[in-house]
Amino acid sequence: MPELEHFDLVVIGAGPAGEKAAAQAAYFKKRVAIIECEPEPGGAAVHTGTLPSKTLRETALYLSGYHARELYGVAVELDRSATLPRLMSRKNAIAAAEARSFRQNFAKHDVRYFCGHGRFVDEHTVSITSAAGETRITGDFVLISTGSKPHRPADIDFADDWIHDSDEILTIRDMPTSLTILGGGVIGCEYACMFAALGVGVTLVDARSEILPFIDGEIVARLKAALVKMGIRMVQGQRWTKVVRTEKGVTTTLQDGSTLENEQLLFAAGRTGCASDLGLDKVGLAPDSRGYIPVDKNYCTKATHIYAAGDVIGFPALASVSMEQGRVAMCHAFGFGYKKAVAAEMPYGIYTIPEVSSFGETEETCKEKKIDYVVGRALYENNARGKITGDLEGITKLVVDAKTRKVVGVHVIGERASELVHIGQTAITLGATVDVFIDMVFNYPTLADSYKYAAYDCLAGLSAKA
Ligand SMILES: Cc1cc2nc3c(=O)[nH]c(=O)nc-3n(C[C@H](O)[C@H](O)[C@H](O)COP(=O)(O)OP(=O)(O)OC[C@H]3O[C@@H](n4cnc5c(N)ncnc54)[C@H](O)[C@@H]3O)c2cc1C
């Protein structure tokens, strides 16, 4: 038997976690192989999740003339048959360009790229199977970064053309006339806005009493008001009990016995780890009940040379965090030392219409932790750039510790929220007081300038407490 090709690191799965881990190890001159079972690298971030959904959002806003309606009172008549192909073609172009960037990154770092399904044969040997046959390689270390897939309840018929999960919604052939979305998490809320912007009648159903419970309550209230203004019907605190395809569409029965009739349905509640077909039994590992692989704080599994990072380990299941987990795992495995942990706090970016982004303490967490706090708000309607862009619903909100004057939370709803939040995140990470925004000069006119006025608003609260 010929000797197997040996690597310092074998990575299974070329999504964001795998890509950054592979590049990290290779940058420090480790011999790295990466295995991907789909035709192109990029994972959910590039092909079915992050970038496609964000591209669809931008395209939906553009094609629907959503912003123009507010600014110029222009009503855009959508050609439904032309809209869907145009929506999808831009998404496909972005995915292709991004997959190319992944391949270029592997080439730049001399990472060996294998196409096929990776599976453990024994502790250090991984088999790669594809239409071309089987290859085996060995690695000192192995990283599992195989991601996650949408959860599919057994009693919902996903084979039906009008019933979709969050992967499959990207391949629909007909723009829905109306859509029930089950799940008011980030994915459900984002898709609800996109379809509503395109003129689809959307009903968003969530079992919890409130959507997005990790976001500041005031921001959620403002978002909900915006969703309702877009025409989205919100059904909250209701579980669904049955989903049935009828002649006209899809009927959803709710726990109170009421029914919802819409043409199509998107199930967007929950995901599960891709760990079932990896031969984990060959290396003494097993996924938990939701398909996630247990790891320690260094992303190391029970087998000390096998790491796991990204969606396959569960929460928070974000591309942003998955990349960092991959890097930290490799620093630990090879002792690179410069990056020891993923930052304790992460920002949330929610690409609804309007966008929401958040970092640090909310009013609710301050109350729970008994932090004496003040808040300051700046409304986009009072901000010159906000007026120009016509985003009059936006707000930048700061949460400040009343004792130390330190900024402890920032919450933004409105245009560019997911970019703006990083200004507050930097201040919080550096332990800055609210005075930093009082003293800074901001470009004018900018939405960033709203930080200064939110800070002035905090000063009013602080002096009231003094
Ligand atoms: C609709 C939607 C919107 C999202 N929006 C955002 C967002 O705005 N911001 C954000 O940060 N995150 C977002 N996410 C989450 C983000 O997409 C994931 O957190 C991220 O893709 C996880 O990266 P990963 O590398 O762990 O896994 P993945 O990206 O899933 O990549 C795993 C890769 O492993 C491959 N693979 C699996 N099994 C094998 C095997 N046995 N052999 C070889 N290859 C294998 C898969 O084909 C895949 O390419 C979104 C997700 C969805 C679904």
Report pLDDT digits (tens) over 183-215.
999 999 999 999 999 889 999 999 999 999 999
Interval between CA 16 and ligand 1 midpoint (Å): 7
Contact of 17 with 309, CB cutoff 8 Å: yes
| 164 band by pLDDT with thresholds 50, 70 and 90 | very high
Distance of alpha carbon 145 from alpha carbon 310, whole angstroms? 6
DSSP annotation of 380 = G
The alpha-carbon radius of gyration of the chain (Å, integer) is 24
pTM to 2 decimal places: 0.95
Interval between CA 190 and ligand 1 midpoint (Å): 17
Spatial CA neighbour of 53 closest among 353, 347, 343, 316: 353
pLDDT at 371 over 60: yes
CB-count burial class (<10 Å; 0-12, 13-18, 19+) for 303: middle
Residue to probe by mutation, ligand 1, list 48, 274, 325, most atoms within 8 Å of CB: 274
> Quick one: pLDDT at residue 168?
92
pLDDT at 70 over 80: no
Please give the number of the atom of ligand 1 that sits closest to the Cα of 320: 11
Q: Which position has the higher pLDDT, 388 or 82?
A: 388
Distance of alpha carbon 70 from alpha carbon 121, whole angstroms? 59
Residue nearest to atom 8 of ligand 1 (CA): 50
Distance of alpha carbon 299 from alpha carbon 23, whole angstroms? 17
Contact of 307 with 145, CB cutoff 8 Å: no
Residue to probe by mutation, ligand 1, list 117, 143, 146, 419, most atoms within 8 Å of CB: 146
> Quick one: pLDDT at residue 389?
86
User: Across residues 414-429, what is the average pLDDT?
Assistant: 97
Q: Which position has the higher pLDDT, 407 or 84?
A: 407
> Quick one: pLDDT at residue 63?
78
> Quick one: pLDDT at residue 331?
98
> Quick one: pLDDT at residue 138?
98
Report the mean per-residue pLDDT for the chain. 94
Q: Which two tokens stand for residue 179?
A: 């859509």
Distance of alpha carbon 297 from alpha carbon 210, whole angstroms? 31
| 381 band by pLDDT with thresholds 50, 70 and 90 | very high
| 1 band by pLDDT with thresholds 50, 70 and 90 | low
> Quick one: pLDDT at residue 283?
98
Query: How many Cβ atoms sit within 10 Å of the Cβ of residue 240?
Result: 22
Residue partners of 439: CB distance under 8 A and separation at least 6: none
**Considering Cα of 311, then 313, then 316, then 319, what sign does the dihedral take?**
negative
Q: Which position has the higher pLDDT, 321 or 66?
A: 321
Do strands 250-254 and 32-36 pair parallel, antiparallel, or not at all (unpaired)? unpaired
Report pLDDT digits (tens) over 20-30.
999 999 999 99
Query: How many Cβ atoms sit within 10 Å of the Cβ of residue 284?
Result: 12
Sheet with strand 259-262: strands edge to edge: 240-245, 250-254, 259-262
pLDDT at 466 over 90: no
Distance of alpha carbon 228 from alpha carbon 432, whole angstroms? 37
Taking CB atoms and a 6 Å cutoff, what residues make up the pocket around ligand 1? 12-18, 35-38, 43-45, 49-50, 53, 117-118, 145-148, 166, 187, 274, 278, 310-312, 317-320, 322, 349, 351
pLDDT at 326 over 70: yes
Report pLDDT digits (tens) over 102-160.
999 999 999 999 999 999 999 999 999 999 999 999 999 999 999 999 999 999 999 99
Distance of alpha carbon 171 from alpha carbon 232, whole angstroms? 23
